[in-house]
Amino acid sequence: MYHTDYKQWKATFVVDMMNKIHRNYWTAFNRIGNETLHQNGFSFDMLPEQSESLSLFRINSLKEMTST
């Protein structure tokens, strides 16, 4: 019984830590990275399918967006 409880606790702990790291990463990016992109003429868009996936985002030129 102890072994199973420990494995469950460990799995939950790892998931919680990964979620915290992921959340902190996006908070920092939205604060620093997105501002820097805008200052250099770009915008950052999350793709709607999975808005928090590290690989599902798009960086667009603000000039291209305003010309269309």
Span 49-62, average pLDDT: 58
Domain of 34, in residue numbers: 1-64
Domain count, the chain: 1
Find the helix or strand (DSSP H, E) in which 48 lies.
Answer: none
pLDDT for 66 beyond 70: no
pLDDT for 13 beyond 80: yes
Which range, 2-6, 13-17, 26-30, has the best average confidence (pLDDT)?
13-17
**pTM higher than 0.85 for the full model?**
no
pLDDT for 4 beyond 60: yes
Rounded Cα gap, residues 50 and 17, in angstroms = 20
